[in-house]
Amino acid sequence: MGVGILGFFLVVSVCFRPLVCQQPNTDGFFVSSFLQNMGLKSSKVHNFSAHFCSWQGVFCDSKEERVVRLVATGLGLSGVVSENTIGKLTMLEILDLSNNNLTALPSDIWSLGSLKFLNLSFNHLSGVLSSNIGNFAKLESLDLSHNNFSGSLPEAMSSLLSLQSLNLSRNGFDSKVPSGIMNCHSLVSLDLSGNKLGDSLHDGFGAAFPKLQFLNLAENEIHGKDSVLSGMVSLTYLNVSGNLFKGSVVGVFGGPLEVVDLSRNQFQGHFSQVNLGSNFSWSNLVYIDLSENQLSGEIFMELNSAQNLKHLNLAYNRFSHQRFPHIGMVRDLEYLNLSSTNLIGEIPSELSLLSSLKTLDISRNHLSSHIPMLNTKKLKILDVSYNNLSGEIPLSLVEILPSMIRFNFSYNNVTFCSSQIPPATLQSAFIGSSDGCPIAANPSLFKGKASKHRGLKLVLALTFSLTFSIVVILLALLFLAFGCRRKPTKWAVKQSSCKEEQSMSGPFSFRTDSTTWVADVKQANSVPVVIFEKPLLNLTFSDLLSATSNFDQGTLLAEGRFGPVYRGYLPGGIHVAVKVLVHGSTMTNQEAARELEYLGRIKHPNLVPLTGYCLAGEQRIAIYDYMENGNLHNLLHDLPLGVQTTEDWSTDTWELQDDSNGIQNVGSEGLLTTWVFRHKIALGTARALAFLHHGCSPPIIHRDVKASSVYLDCSLEPRLSDFGLAKIFGNGLEDEIARGSPGYIPPEFLQPAETSSPKTPTPKSDVYGFGVILFELLTGKKPVGDDYPEEKDGNLVIWVRGLVRKNQGLRAIDPKIHGTAPETQMEEALKIGYLCTADSPSKRPSMQQVVGLLKDIESITKQ
């Protein structure tokens, strides 16, 4: 009787709380108790007066009785998770509580035997990881990264036989990697980086993971020979930097590696002996870092075979004295560091062929002669210090120094003109160099021996100095009279401008052809702009106003699904596309900032990088790298430069480009007339989606894959945009985006909606959109609106699929690319598009599989 009365009072107490009354011992009761105990209150976003299956982040089975998925990421939940709440959701398959402030888990969470996906990353969980983790026999993905766990990893992890993704990075786990993990043969991704794991890996570690594609053991204290890392035949990403590995670097290379980071270890041997066997190919490599090891011999001359290499770091090894390696054919290289590698002789002029180079560090070598002409189009970091270089610094290089992030010419014999170089820069970047300017240009910095003609030189210098002073005074008066008409060169990190110093008061209203948006801020210079890679810039909303001419129509590039996009130059010469997300986010400023910070950490060569953001009142402003060559839709379908479509960032109406010899606003006739280039676009786009689906935890669903979301950067690399933005706006905009764009909408979203099974975007929705893009690349036709023979009121997908079924697929191929590659390659690509556009999502391949299929096409030859 006492228990019954107590239960009665418990039910009454719950019913009188702000949350809706739920029946005891039901999933609704457990979820409401969890959210209530964690401090979440009812709001417009979480309307707890409705049925619990309609709450944000709660997904139920078809009968709407049992919770199968609970997503409460980034909600500000804090403290200890109570017993008898989420631990009682016995049918739960997906649990995501990431990006909160949780400190401890309930003991009954380990009884959730149905879990397939568990993400508790970016919290404050501490203590030892329970051996009860072995109860999750069905678990496929586990992410506990960025917490405060400590102690040993439990051997019970050997029971997780279905595990495909394991991320325990950025914790305090110590001891050694348990042998039990080697039982998880299904692992595709393993990240144990940033812990305190020591000792050596068990023999056969690599061979235990035949499916492993991603391995990150960086920043631990792991010992071991190179042999323990061999045998991973599927590995594409390997990072064991910052450990104590020994042995030959040769044994590590194998499989289809794309990213290799072995830096800061004790690897030895000759780099030139890296084996080309074992399924390893230099052409796959995109990133390689072998710095701070004990490598010897010569730098491998076959680097020219690494056609796709973007990052190469061999600094601080024990290479033999040798001349600069031949590297001119690696045209996509963005980062090159050969510091302290015993280079001798001259810097080769072929470096000018590296048009994508952003960082060049060849310091601390024995290089001599002059600095050759370099391709300065993208160069941001240059270090040639501690060499034997002489002669003048090339003028083209001097001219870009103000816009560079860092440079150092110290401890050489080079000459330069210091007339506009601040003393602080001279003291740090030109130590030991010679000022080659006329004496009167900057006499305080000129130091030299007196000569026999000293008197004559002094008279000339004084005369020139007086004339120069008068000219300077006149120019200053003109400047004051007419104001600042052109942007001066700046050497400080943050450029100053000619805008008024007084703060501008808001709110600010801006109009485009289709909308009016308001930035409700009181003072423009009090709202910060965050630039991820340059946190010291201290930019504000006033800098955005200046960069976009107060969001003037002349800088407007497009008006897309999320809002208008503007082009601008931020201080420091940062060329950006500024996307104003005007639909109105359901997130608080703190939540939106956290989500944008997360998106900013997502990097891939085929994604448009998020450079930064600004929270201006209720407006969320995303700042992206500017994509010079527009989007695929415009280029593929030959739209004139004046015609803009959704998300077209290519129209150049702002300023003349300094790099006029580069590729700017190139028409499709010049780019897309070969299948080889179109295949490159397809493969790059597929890699971007595969990374979002399989390389991110939780997976990111794009929701609106289409040709106008694929951009070409200055190196003509395809980059996918707008990933992850839908989450910022809540369910309203997600539902809109789920419907997709005409011609790209998967069949499952065109069917009548059933109230019991809401249509939610999945990775297979993205696969369908990619299939449509692939058909566009093959046929040159638009998804809708073009003429499709024999298909009345049809569309591209219906037309091509019909031809493929009749074995007449070649009839669909764009005449522009006929004869530019074997027909068998295009036939195989048509089949891949056919698979991707299957009516049933379950019959579509994953994007990982699509990448593999597209890569296989390259090996097909004419029959």
Tell me which residues are annotated as active site. 704
Distances 10 to 25, 416, 634 between C-alpha atoms, Å: 12, 81, 63
For 820, the token pair is 């530019």
User: Using CA atoms, how far apart are residues 407 and 783, in angstroms rounded to an integer?
Assistant: 48
With a CB cutoff of 8 Å and minimum separation 6, the contacts of 730 are 45, 56, 585, 586, 587
- In 10 A of CB 92, how many CB atoms? 26
First to last CA, the chain: 85
Q: Are strands 359-361 and 266-268 parallel, antiparallel or unpaired?
A: unpaired
Q: Burial, 514: exposed, middle or buried (Cβ in 10 Å; 0-12, 13-18, 19+)?
A: exposed
E strands, 705-786, in order: 710-712, 718-720
For 407, the token pair is 């440079």
- Could you give the angle at which helices 763-779 and 796-805 cross, rounded to 10 degrees? 80
Tell me the HSE value of 92 on the side-chain side, using a 13 A CA sphere.
29
At 296, phi and psi to the nearest 5?
-135, -170
CA nearest neighbour of 357 among 342, 347, 345 = 347
Q: Burial, 343: exposed, middle or buried (Cβ in 10 Å; 0-12, 13-18, 19+)?
A: buried
Q: Are strands 366-369 and 343-346 parallel, antiparallel or unpaired?
A: parallel
User: Using CA atoms, how far apart are residues 265 and 170, in angstroms rounded to an integer?
Assistant: 20
User: Using CA atoms, how far apart are residues 107 and 110, in angstroms rounded to an integer?
Assistant: 6
Are 99 and 598 in contact by the 8 Å Cβ rule? The answer is yes
Tell me the HSE value of 815 on the side-chain side, using a 13 A CA sphere.
0
User: Using CA atoms, how far apart are residues 791 and 804, in angstroms rounded to an integer?
Assistant: 14
| Secondary structure (DSSP) of 616-650 | ETTEEEEEEE--TT-BHHHHHTT--TT---TT---
Are 837 and 768 in contact by the 8 Å Cβ rule? The answer is yes
Residue 759 C-alpha from the chain's centroid: 29
